[in-house]
Amino acid sequence: MTVVRGSSSHTINSYGSDIVQFENMLRKKSLSSTHNWNDIDDQTIESYIRLLNERGYLPSTKARKLAAVKSFLGFLHNEEVISSDPSDDITLQRQGSKLPLVISVEKIKSLIESTLIHSTYPIAERDHAMLHTAYATGMRATEIISLNVRDIDLKAGNIKCLGKGSKERMVPIHRGAIDSVRQYFKKSRRDLLKASDMDAVFLNRMGKRVSRQGFWLILKKYAKLTNLDHAVTPHTLRHSFATHLLEGGAPINHVQELLGHSSIATTQIYTHLTTGHVREEYEAAHPRAFSKDYNV
């Protein structure tokens, strides 16, 4: 998954835990601490599906767990560890597209500004710079926490981002976010850095790189303080960034490039979210939009 697919560490960890769960079921079923992968058949896979159903997993979670097992068994077959792939006849159900949560520009502004209201130095300036950067660039949570000082060119207003599949892209960052990062670098980061030589941009109280979970908790804290929807996540900032760009008239291929999507089909989900904006523009611009006295 690392070398061939270029999967993220988050995906690899998720698949790893799913495969361990599958293996634990096999061991329990065989009443032995060991098992032979060649003993797995379609009935084994069906037993696993029943187990997932009994545990009440969401459809999306079940789909991922089955995808992990199917991928792993396919790998074992390709490597000739097993003579046949028992998951060949298992068809993964395509999950319906769920429109991502997007929050308004005004709420984004309140969220970012709340960092300076509800926190104290140096955490306030770090959180302000981190959330400002996330919304200004549309970068993924993993991409944000993986940033190193050398990746940010404040003078040019660019950030070098390492995305999925180790694909590198250059993302512009607007003046407001640049000022937030510059203010954070000026003193707050040095105070958080303590005596270490950590190159990470965003540091925790221990002087270490902020973790993915840490970023999530930071965002949840301010989302709660500003009375935003409980479902707000780091990806909400990314979704909002893309949607607001499209609403502002940015070409979809430019948004695709900024987000680091390999296929424009992935970016097209955001066009569904701009329908309301397009309707408003139509009604405001069309000469007969709200006229009650025109003749058809």
| Catalytic annotation, residues | 140, 164, 235, 238, 261, 270
Task: Give CA–CA dist 102/262, Å, rounded.
Answer: 22
Cβ atoms of 141 and 234 closer than 8 Å: yes
Q: Which of helix, strand or coil describes residue 283?
A: helix
Q: In angstroms, how far is CA 204 from the centroid of its own chain?
A: 20
> Quick one: CA dihedral 132, 136, 141, 146, positive or negative?
negative
Q: Is 249 left (phi over 0), alpha (psi -120 to 50) or beta?
A: left
DSSP single-letter state for residue 81: S
| Nearest CA among 119, 147, 159 for reference residue 210 | 147
Q: Which two tokens stand for residue 126?
A: 């770090």
| Nearest CA among 131, 80, 110 for reference residue 241 | 131
Pairing of strands 158-162, 152-153: antiparallel
Cβ atoms of 45 and 84 closer than 8 Å: no
